[in-house]
Structure 1
Amino acid sequence: MRVTVGHRPITGFAEEYRLQQSRYPMTPAGWQPVHTVYVPADRFSADTVATWGGQALELLEAHLPGPDELAEVFGVSADLAPGVHRRLLAKLEAEPVEDLRIDFEDGYGVRPDDEDGHAEQAAAAVVAMHEEGRLPRRWGLRVKSFADADPERSVRTLDGFLTEVVGRIGALPPGFALTFPKVLMENYLGQFSAFLEDLEKGLGLGPLRFEIQVEAPQTLPFLRADLAGGRLAAAHFGVFDYTAAIGLPPHEQRLDHPACDHARHVMQTAFAGTGIELSDGSLAAAPASSATADVRALWRRHAQLVRHSLAHGFYQGWDMHPSHLVSRFATVYAFHLATYDSYTARVAAWEQQRQVEGVMDEPATVKTLVTALSRARSALGDFTGNPA
């Protein structure tokens, strides 16, 4: 029997609950690219995506011709290898790049006499790709950091690029992404957001959101869901700047260093439930030569890092060489296909209130199973046939 006792009314709950839902929408995972391909602006053209795809296919055919070789190089089980190889071939032929970033920062360098021209050339290439239906599902550019003491150069490039694209097309093609690197001071976010607001008004654009790069320990303390007034779309980890900033020796600048694990876990903690996407960094290496042993050695190392990211809940990473496309997609496909059947069975068992091998999953685990299956279908895309 309940005994009612006097108490003060709970005031302000409805407003606080609305704030909770706004800040932590807990929305199901939608499509997120499995990688971002990073191309210096001076090397970018309308043929870049096709060139990368062609080079990746050549490497696949020369050094990974069939399922047996794939199983040996990537440690994929014999039953999964044929499906992974088939999907890998189809992916590289149809969509080798899911997310493209034209780089005007570290990969491009400081070129005050050239940057305006390269921004115009990059815009022209994007327009050509759009008109030919070859623009990746997500695409955009990385501007220079405000931390380099020249914010005017950063915003001038973005202004010139977008003005050219919108002027030629009449609108901004869907999928645009903007990367803001080296956010060492929280106020840089407000300053950059204010510029974006002015740019939106001047070009008649909808809200421009952006992703930040977490590249220094100074950034970790102010990671919050309300960063940049709702403009924040994603956070990407920058392994080389971060490991240099904390003083690691050069041979320890690697994605699977424990210090990088800590930074990524802080990012996960800060953005859990917010809908803000997370991406891991890159491997700054290419095959030492065209010899099969060297190409496969690169693939094995890259696959090891991709698996490390996936195991830590980072489902996207940066690729910096055509060879990385092979190891990226092969590892991602094998990762999701290895558990697809068992996850499906566990969800079905929970819905029917029965056990699988003596275990009844907790509701929180079932949510992660459903999310994992959704993420697997998203990553496998149209190249799956029947994923099960």
Structure 2
Amino acid sequence: MGQGQQEQVATSLAGAVSEEISASLAPVDAELERRYPGDPGTRQPVHTVYVPGDAFASDTIRSWGDKALAALDEHAPDAASFAAVLGLSDELAEPVYARVRAKLEHEPIEDLRVDFEDGYGPRPDAEEDETAARAAGLIAEAYKNGTAAPYMGIRMKCMEAAVRDRGIRTLDVFLTGLMAAGGLPEGLVLTLPKVTYAEQVTAFVRLLEAFEKAHGLDSGRLGFEIQIETSQSILATDGTATVARMIQAAEGRATGLHYGTFDYSACLGVSAAYQASDHPAADHAKAVMQVAAAGTGVRVSDGSTNVLPIGPTAKVHDAWRLHYGLTRRALARAYYQGWDMHPGHIPTRYAAVFAFYREGFEQAAGRLARYAGRVGGDVMDEPATAKALSGYLLRGLDCGALDIAEVARLTGLTRADLEGYAAPRRGDLTVSTK
């Protein structure tokens, strides 16, 4: 066969058949793009810290970091002692401890929510108005002077009748205060708690639309997290998954689903002593959330533990081991974010996260390098696996567990390369490049 000639193969179907099928599936193609846009590719914080509205201050973030460092100094003053508490290997002990301390010094909180719900409770209207306005001013100032967490915002009261008006007003006061102080910061996050019906999500969308219109903001500028704290938010009366309806009711504004450990457990009748993020009821709820959110761009966050690392060293160590174990368990189940309730929790939050990424780093980097170089190995990876491997490395980079230099050295890839593998075009995941 001459150069440039192409071998002719026999087919049986006319081209019109393919065209007709494509035309019939065009609505489905559009629906897939609309409902399942994929991960947004932005940084996901490893935790959310809730601080009651009246306790939030200009030095809250630094104060939490200093208290966490003090806890390390008192109860695990060096890498060996910290590793002994958590069961870290000798290889991981020093790099994890050093990175935890550095994180607590420079970025102790990745996501902070000023709480006007359970952590704040019912207050006189004038007091809550003042607190909401104050929170807006403090957050605006933090972003201006560089002391803000990467993500900050508020959790308002829910959309149930008894507190609806108060929640709406608090949100209005807060957002209006931000606008008056220079505009909405890029890291702004809003949390809608105790959602039971998708219609409550729809109502919240209408509320945000009204605010955007009032201030001339782009439509969709305001997104929000949905807190999953009730049985009705997981399973509707007709047996369908309510949480999936909520994601769609958010009309593209939902950014996360946050599991509420204690409210959800209590709703199901779980005794207080057994309310924990590893209870079978919690696992079921989060599995439903995870499947409902997959591919939608909505991220899932685990809950928290209420066992605080305070008191004598032996008690602190027990609480640290519990928190570390729960965090590692969540990471293995692809829940990359959780709640932290006390400054003493954040050393073990970062220890668990850093250990998770560092212990699997070399294997993941090697597999991705072989995939990128079309080099065979003992594992035959597909495009979807390359997506998972690059996503793993990017998460490690974002939180500080990994450095770009060491990732580049082992993979031969830039961050842009990693992002390309982590967010492939839809069709690229269906065809192996092997």
CA offset digits 1:302-329 (Å, max 9, x no partner): 1111011111110000111000110100
CA offset digits 1:34-88 (Å, max 9, x no partner): 0111001011111111111110111112212211112111111111111111111
State the Cα RMSD in Å: 2.0
1:213 to 2:227 alignment = yes
1:335 to 2:356 alignment = yes
Cα displacement (A) at 1:95 = 0.5
Aligned counterpart for 1:134 among listed residues 147, 150, 165: 147
Cα displacement (A) at 1:350 = 2.7
How many angstroms apart in 2 are the aligned matches of 1:239 and 1:44?
23
Match of 1:143 in 2: 156
Q: Give the structure-1-normalised TM-score.
A: 0.93
Cα displacement (A) at 1:385 = 6.7
Cα displacement (A) at 1:260 = 0.8
1:2 to 2:16 alignment = no
How many angstroms apart in 1 are the aligned matches of 2:217 and 2:402?
31
Match of 1:298 in 2: 319
- One-letter code aligned to 2:225: E
Aligned counterpart for 2:51 among listed residues 39, 62, 66: 39
On the 8 A contact 2:158/2:192 being kept in 1, the answer is: yes
Match of 2:3 in 1: none
- One-letter code aligned to 1:158: L
On the 8 A contact 1:91/1:383 being kept in 2, the answer is: no
How many angstroms apart in 2 are the aligned matches of 1:269 and 1:137?
27
Match of 1:364 in 2: 384
Cα displacement (A) at 1:202 = 1.9
Stretch of structure 1 that moved more, 96-105 or 64-73: 64-73
On the 8 A contact 2:68/2:344 being kept in 1, the answer is: yes
How many angstroms apart in 2 are the aligned matches of 1:30 and 1:121?
29
CA offset digits 1:339-370 (Å, max 9, x no partner): 000111112223344443x3323443333222
- One-letter code aligned to 2:11: R
Cα displacement (A) at 1:384 = 7.5
Stretch of structure 1 that moved more, 175-184 or 206-215: 206-215
**Structure 2, unpaired ranges of 5+:** 1-9, 235-240, 411-434
Match of 1:375 in 2: 395
| Greater relative CO, 1 or 2 (CA 8 Å, sep 6+) | 1
Stretch of structure 1 that moved more, 122-131 or 179-188: 122-131
Cα displacement (A) at 1:7 = 5.8
On the 8 A contact 2:99/2:401 being kept in 1, the answer is: no
How many angstroms apart in 2 are the aligned matches of 1:7 and 1:166?
55
Change (3 A) 1:212 1:19: same
Match of 1:58 in 2: 70
SS in 2 for 1:92: helix
How many angstroms apart in 2 are the aligned matches of 1:3 and 1:124?
70
Q: Give the structure-2-normalised TM-score.
A: 0.84
Query: How many residues of Structure 1 are paired with residues of Structure 2 in the alignment?
Result: 385
On the 8 A contact 1:217/1:246 being kept in 2, the answer is: yes
- One-letter code aligned to 1:351: A
- One-letter code aligned to 1:112: P
Match of 2:124 in 1: 112
Cα displacement (A) at 1:26 = 2.5
Stretch of structure 1 that moved more, 230-239 or 112-121: 112-121
Change (3 A) 1:267 1:385: same
1:266 to 2:279 alignment = no
Which has the larger Rg? 2
Match of 1:283 in 2: 305
- Sequence identity, in percent? 42
**Structure 1, unpaired ranges of 5+:** none
- One-letter code aligned to 1:310: L
Change (3 A) 1:313 1:110: same
On the 8 A contact 1:87/1:384 being kept in 2, the answer is: no
How many angstroms apart in 2 are the aligned matches of 1:93 and 1:165?
27
Change (3 A) 1:131 1:27: closer
